Structure formats: C-alpha cells, structure tokens
Amino acid sequence: MRNLICLLALALILNFPTVVLAEEPLPDGFIAFSKTRLSFAEAQKFCEEHDGRLPLIAGLPSAQGSPPGRIPIDGFGFSSGPWPEGLPKEIFWTGTQGPRGPFVIMFFRDGVYTISNPNEFLDVVCVPK
C-alpha cells in the first residue's frame, strides 16, 4: 500500500496520468474500463494498450447533434436505448470524430451522444478491435 501511495504521489508531481484499470467484471461487449478519467489521446492509447479501441457510433448521419432513432454504438447497443448494466452512468469517449471534435456517449435517461473537447478528461471504456 505504501508503494502505491508513493507511485501516485510521484505521478502527480511529474504530471503523469495515472490509469487504474477496473477490477470488476465488465458488461458484455467491453474489454477494459479505466477508473481514471483521461483526455481523448490518452483514452485512445489506453484502449490500444489493452488490445482494444474506443467504441464507434455507426452510421452517424450528422455531426450537428443526436439524430432521431436508434443508432448502433459499439458495446452500448443503440442510442436512446437502455444503458449497459454494470457500467457507471457517466460520460465516455467514443472513437467517432466530428468536424469539431470527438463524440462522447453519456447517460441521460438513456444513451445519448454529443461532441466534446478532446482535452477534457472523461471516462474510458474499450471494445475489442
């Protein structure tokens, strides 16, 4: 425990992102979950290091906002569908890029998505490649 505290303190001093991999079982369709919020670039690297990738939003017709209907999202099922049981109801990076930045999926009564600043620190979950 003392070594872990020393490593965390060193990471803060040196400004290294400290990634903690979740130990709980993940919902079907996911292979890794970071308990640490990461920037978009860090999220991509985290998934690559776990032989995965960020979830993609399939067939996105427009980058201007959430279109009506059910759009497939890797691991999450569909937009406007039930949130994956066992996954925290937070905001997660996706690997889908829009003209103003990467899209995120968030819990808001169901799964909705929007564009976010890639420098924000958000939750990360990975799907198989």
- CATH number of this structure's domain 19-128: 3.10.100.10
Query: Whole-angstrom Cα distance, residue 94 to residue 57?
Result: 7
Instruction: Express each pLDDT in 84-120 by its tens digit.
Output: 888 888 889 999 888 888 888 888 766 566 778 888 9
Domain boundaries of the chain, sorted by first residue: 19-128
Least confident range of 30-39, 40-49, 57-66: 57-66
- Of 7-11, 61-65, 67-71, 120-124, where does the model show the most confidence? 120-124
Question: Who has greater pLDDT, 26 or 32?
Answer: 32
pLDDT for the residue 38: 95
